[in-house]
């Protein structure tokens, strides 16, 4: 059974760096710093409280933000699809719970629908972004990308 909110998003954009590794990348494929910085700026325009800068993972980047009094984390990475294709950006929402909360409760529980809506507003309102699709985590993990929808909210 799915939660009511899709928490994984895929989108296309050629506006961000996808092929020039920077010296500060943990790994050569650690693209997404410019996307994460852009999302932080766009969230702030909506009045959303965010960290100053994104953090780096071994595969991409993350940014922390707060909606409805709850901390959330948006993780973003790039999945190349072929030599002549730009590839797909993949992002997913987690709850910001700290180390103990992550281990005990899980970062996938308690994600506020407003968190997904805030990210959706940034992505869907920009001419830099196209083909925004939201996925349930369980579908995405099983490779069912075709089940993506244009909205993070499941129909009632």
How far, in Å, CA of 129 to CA of 132, rounded? Answer: 7
For the ranges 7-11, 109-113, 121-125, 149-153, which has the lowest average pLDDT?
A: 109-113
65-104 residue pLDDT tens: 999 899 999 999 999 876 656 779 999 999 974 544 434 4
Statement: residue 3 has pLDDT above 70: no
Residue 101's pLDDT is 40
Residue 87's pLDDT is 79
Q: Mean of the per-residue pLDDT values for the chain?
A: 88
124-142 residue pLDDT tens: 999 999 999 999 999 999 9
Pairing of strands 130-135, 8-12: antiparallel
How far, in Å, CA of 140 to CA of 136, rounded? Answer: 6
Environment class of residue 69 by beta-carbon count within 10 Å: exposed (0-12), middle (13-18) or buried (19+)? exposed
Closest CA to 35 of 59, 7, 56, 61: 61
Instruction: Identify the band that residue 110 occupies on the pLDDT scale cut at 50, 70 and 90.
Output: confident
Half-sphere exposure for 148 (CA within 13 Å, toward CB): 16
Its pTM stands at: 0.88
Number of neighbouring beta carbons within 10 Å of residue 51: 16
Sequence-distant (≥ 6) Cβ neighbours of residue 122 within 8 angstroms: 39, 42, 43, 46
């Amino acid at each position: 059974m799915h939660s009511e909110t899709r928490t994984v998003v895929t989108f296309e954009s050629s506006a961000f760096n996808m092929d020039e590794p920077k010296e500060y990348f943990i790994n050569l494929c650690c693209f997404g710093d410019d996307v994460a910085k852009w999302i932080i700026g766009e969230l702030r325009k909506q009045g959303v409280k965010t960290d100053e800068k994104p953090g780096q993972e071994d595969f991409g980047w993350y940014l922390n933000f707060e909606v409805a009094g709850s901390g959330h984390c948006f993780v973003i990475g790039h999945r190349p699809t072929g030599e002549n294709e730009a590839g797909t950006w993949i992002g997913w929402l987690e709850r910001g719970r700290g180390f103990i909360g992550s281990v005990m409760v899980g970062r996938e529980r308690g994600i506020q629908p407003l968190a997904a809506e805030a990210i959706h507003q940034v992505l869907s309102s920009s001419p830099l972004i196209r083909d925004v699709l939201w996925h349930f985590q369980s579908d995405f993990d099983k490779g069912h990308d075709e089940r993506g929808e244009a909205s993070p909210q499941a129909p009632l």
